[in-house]
Structure 1
Amino acid sequence: MNPIKNALKSISVTTTNVITALIFFVITAKISNPSFFGKVAIIQLLEVVTSAFFYLIPGQIITREISYLYAKKEINKRVIEIFLSFPFLALPVFLILLIFPNYVKLAIPYLFLYLLNGVLTAVMIGMDMFTESAITGNLFLVIRWGISIIAVLLHSIYLFIEIWTLGAIISVSTNYVFLSRKVGLLFPSPDFTFLFKHFREGLPLYLSSLSSFFSSQGDRVTTAYLLGSYYLGIYQFSALVAGVPSMILSALGNVLLPTASFYRALGKDEKKMSSLSFRFLSLLTFLAVIISIPVGEIVIDHFFPAYKAGLEVFILLLVSSTLPFSMGSLTNFIVAAKKDLKPFLALSVLNGSLVVLTSYLLIPRIGIIGGAISQIIVATISSLFVLFYATRTSVFIPTKKEFVLLSITPLIGAYEIFVDPVFMDFLLVLAIIFIFKLFKIISEDEIRVIEGFLPRGLKFVSTILRIMS
């Protein structure tokens, strides 16, 4: 299992998502209005609800278990069939959406397929099937954002949902074919003892996901409730543009859990893996924040003038979603090491409560920027908690190098929010490179480890890292 090659495959999906979504939003912004965009945002919000409330066995648990079996060459078709059964068991719960408007009711089949496809993908990446999942992911995104432009042209939210449902059907069918070719025909078959065991183990993550819904989406729900779909459209658009860097970084993060689980099953030291991953991801995170903010401001200012009111929100949301990424990535190593996950429940309850409380307090007074401030608060608390717990469980042991990176993280965030003259960004990039070189953040031995995973076309990366070492 090669984390760098898998990350590149995962990034291909993210790149397709960014490009096709950008085209979609440009056209939507030109021919539609924030109210229509707000309805699209509600469908996307329901996707998050599905992942949070109906994902009874968290994808992290599924991927970890499959990765362990794959590393030991003990992949069992029966285990996969059991995991695939729980979306069908959750199907009746979707009927609660029947009480909502007609276009939400129409989304029920799509949301079920969205859940089933998530489970299929979790199994596939656990089996190192990143190529197959990338093919399916790219195909779905072309349909999701490309073909659905027809619905925007016709101003039909119903056609929009029908196109997304067609994409989900194709995606699920393709993933099923890929898996069946690997392990044989699959027929979802529940084993309640097995499912309950993994549900109980993953319960802290599941409950955390519920609470995380309020911490990550509470600002949007509150905005929709207090200010209506127009301001929700502006806020959600700012959040989507701000989320591009974290989407790309998440493509890298997606490989950490299966890779950490795979190599831990083979007896590798997770502390070394977590340390190198943290430092490498910190470099990428810093560069992503510094570069993305001026680029995002230019994009919104020139291509989406109707959404310029969300520029300050965009900056706050980008910092809150991207800057803590390297610290948040340590969660993968905690799960892979099978540490107690119950503390994450307390964190999520705290975060969810804070977002709802601060949103209700701030949004009526200062508008949508209040929701963005609440995300900054939650991102800070979550990052500190993950860092503390990873250290407490000995999954991550920070040294001087890690402390240097941790100390400059809030400084970069403060600079981007309160200062950020564009001409200084280039100097800030040089300063980051200088710090990495001064403290030898990535050593020669570690560069050789990275080289072992680099494909031939990316050998220049090791040259860059050597310049910085």
Structure 2
Amino acid sequence: MNPIKNALKSLSVTTTNVIVALIFFIITAKITNPEFFGKVAIIQLLEVVTSAFFYFIPGQIITREISYLYARKEINKSVIGKFLSFPFLVLPLFLILLLFTNYVKLAIPYLFLYLLNSVMSSIMVGMDMFTETAITGNLFLIIRWGISIIAVLSHNIYLFIEIWTLGGIISVSMNYAFLSRKVGLVLPSFDFAFLFKHFREGLPLYLSSSATFLSSQGDRVTTAYLLGSYYLGLYQFSALVAGVPSMVLGALGGVLLPTASFYKALGSDEKKMSSISFRVLALISFLAVIVSIPIAILVVERFFPDYIQGIKVLILLLLAMTLPFPISSLTNFIIAANKSLRPFFILSLLNGSLVLLTSFLLIPRIGIMGGAISQVIVSAISSSFILVYALRTSTFVLGRKESVLLFVMPLIALYEVFIDPPYLDFLLLISVLLLFKIFKTITSEDVKLIESFLPSKLKFVALLMKMIS
């Protein structure tokens, strides 16, 4: 289980997503309007609804259990079949979408495939099958954003959904073939005692995921309700562009849970793993924010003039999603260490309530900017909670280096919002690198550990890290 190689494989999917989605959005922005984009946003919103409310055994629980079994060489197709069965059990729940408009009804098969594919991916990454998930992920994204351009050209939302459904069929079929080749022919096995056991164990995560829907999507739902699909299109577009850096970080962070679970099963100390992950991800997150904001502004101004009024929203959302990433990554180590997950449900309820409250208070007064401010508030509260809980459960230790990084996070945010002239971003970039050098945030021992996982073609990364160690 090599976290760096696996992160690079996951990063290939993110890179494909960014490239083909950018082409899709450029074409869509040129030949359609924010209202059509708002309809696409509703389909994406339904994906989030599926993950939040229909994913009864959370993917984190599935990945952790599979990783434990894989590390101990106890994996078998019986366990895989049991996990694969639960999307079929929840299939009737999708029929509730028949109450909605026609193009939402048409999305039911796609959303079922989306859920089934998510479960398969959770199983596969737990078995270190990152190459296979990268293959299917890249292919699906090419269909999802590339071929669906045909539907955009014809302004046909129904054809758009049909193309996405085709991508889901192909992706599920390939993942099933990869799993069957790895462990033998796998069939869904309806073991209700097994499923209920893991449902009960993952219930706090499931409930928190459902509540998190309100905190992550409540601003969009409120925007759609109060301002209509036009402003939803503006807001969703800003959110998608702002989410690119966090998507890249997600590819890196996505390997943490299976890796932490794998090595925890072999006896490694989660405190050491969480510390180095926090410090390395902090470096990457800081640099990502500093570089991404001027690039995002340039892209919007150059290619999407209809969305320029959303630039300030974009900046706030980018900061809210990207800067706290090192803190949110600590959740993976809490899950891997089998600590209680109940507090996350309380946090999610609090966040969801705050998003709805602040959105309804702010959006009528300051428009879509209110939704962005709402997300900043929730991000700050959520990060503080995760940090405190990680310290209380002894899955993370707050030393001098970690304290310095936590102090710098809000300073970078304030600079980017209130002070930042774009031409001074270079100076901020140099300042961050000097900070890491002065405080020796990345140690020589850390570099040696990272180097041991690096592929031969990426050894230069270790050399660059030695320069600031």
SS at match of 1:260: helix
Q: Matches of 2:238 and 2:423 in 1, distance apart?
A: 23
Amino acid at match of 1:224: A
* 1:244 counterpart residue number: 244
Q: Distance in 1 between matches of 2:235 and 2:446?
A: 41
* Cα distance in 1, alignment partners of residues 395 and 72 from structure 2: 22
Q: Where do 5+ consecutive residues of structure 2 fail to align?
A: none
Q: CA deviation at 1:59?
A: 0.1
Partner of 1:328: 328
Question: Which residue identity does 1:419 align to in structure 2?
Answer: I
RMSD: 0.4
Deviations 1:4-49 (A, max 9, x none): 0000000000000000000000000000000000000000000000
Cα displacement string for residues 164-211 of structure 1 (whole angstroms, at most 9, x for unaligned residues)? 000000000000000000001111111111111110110000000011
- Please show how residues 305-454 of structure 1 align to structure 2 within 5 Å: 305-454=305-454
Alignment partner, residue 105 of structure 1: 105
Q: SS at 2:251's partner residue? A: helix
Give deviations 1:334-391, integer Å, cap 9, x for gaps.
0000000000000000000000010000000000000000000000000001100000
Structure 2 letter corresponding to 1:23: I
Q: Cα distance, 1:425 vs. partner?
A: 0.5
Q: How far is the alpha carbon of 1:298 from its aligned partner?
A: 0.3
Q: Distance in 1 between matches of 2:362 and 2:190?
A: 46
Distance 2:205 2:39 in 1: 29
CA distance in 1, matches of 2:406, 2:279: 10
Distance 1:126 1:188 in 2: 18
SS in 2 for 1:74: coil
Structure 2: how far apart are the matches of 1:283 and 1:373?
25
Letter in 2 for 1:2: N
Partners in 2 of 1:327 and 1:118 — Cα distance? Answer: 24
Question: AA paired with 2:267?
Answer: G
Question: How many angstroms does 1:255 deviate by?
Answer: 0.1
Aligned pairs (5 A) from 1:57-456: 57-456=57-456
Please report the TM-score for the alignment, with normalisation by the length of structure 1: 1.00
Could you list the runs of 5+ residues in structure 1 that have no partner in the other structure?
none
> In 2, distance between residues paired with 1:298 and 1:357?
33
Give me the TM-score of the superposition, normalised by structure 2.
1.00
Residue type at the aligned position of 2:204: P
Residue type matched to 1:431 in 2? Answer: S
Shift of 1:445: 1.0
State the one-letter code of the partner of 1:194. Answer: F
1:56-85 deviation digits (Å, cap 9, x = unpaired) = 000000000000000000002111000000
Post-superposition offset of 1:419: 1.5
Query: Secondary structure at the residue paired with 2:90?
Result: helix
Superposed CA offset, 1:214-253 (max 9, x none): 0000000000000000000000000000000000000001
**Who is 1:2 aligned against?**
2
Q: Match of 1:338, SS? A: coil
Offset at residue 129 of structure 1 (A): 0.1
How many residue pairs get aligned? The number is 469
Separation of aligned partners in 1, 2:419 and 2:56: 44
Aligned residue for 1:9, secondary structure, equals helix
Distance 2:416 2:70 in 1: 43
How far apart are the structure 1 equivalents of 2:20 and 2:203?
Answer: 36
| 1:420 Cα deviation after fit | 1.2
- Partner amino acid for 2:385? F
The 2-side partners of 1:418 and 1:245 are apart by 21
DSSP-derived class of the 1:425 partner: helix
Q: Distance in 2 between matches of 1:382 and 1:413?
A: 16
Give the whole-Å Cα distance in 2 for the aligned partners of 1:63 and 1:442: 29
Distance across 1 between alignment mates of 2:16 and 2:212: 27
Distance 2:90 2:183 in 1: 25
In structure 2, how many angstroms separate the alpha carbons of the residues matched to 1:91 and 1:416? 45
SS at match of 2:347: helix
Secondary structure of 2:160's match?
helix
**1:191 partner amino acid:** D
| Residue identity opposite 1:85 in structure 2 | S
Q: Distance between the aligned counterparts of 1:428 and 1:39, measured in 2?
A: 39
Is 1:27 the counterpart of 2:27? The answer is yes
Which residue identity is paired with 2:51? Answer: S
The alpha carbon displacement at 1:423 in A equals 1.3
Following TM superposition, by how much is the alpha carbon of 1:436 offset from its aligned partner in structure 2, in angstroms? 0.5
CA distance, structure 2, for counterparts of residue 420 and residue 117 of structure 1 = 42
Q: Which amino acid aligns with 2:20?
A: T
Letter matched to residue 316 of structure 2: L
> Counterparts of 2:72 and 2:106 in 1: how far apart (Å)?
43
Q: Runs ≥4 in structure 1, deviation > 6 angstroms?
A: none
Distance (whole Å) between structure 1 residues aligned to residue 260 and residue 216 of structure 2 = 26
Identity over aligned residues, as a percent?
73
Looking at structure 2, the residues matched to 162 and 423 of structure 1 have their Cα atoms a distance apart, in angstroms, of 45
Q: Measure the CA separation in 1 of the matches of 2:359 and 2:256.
A: 33
Paired AA for residue 110 in structure 2? Y
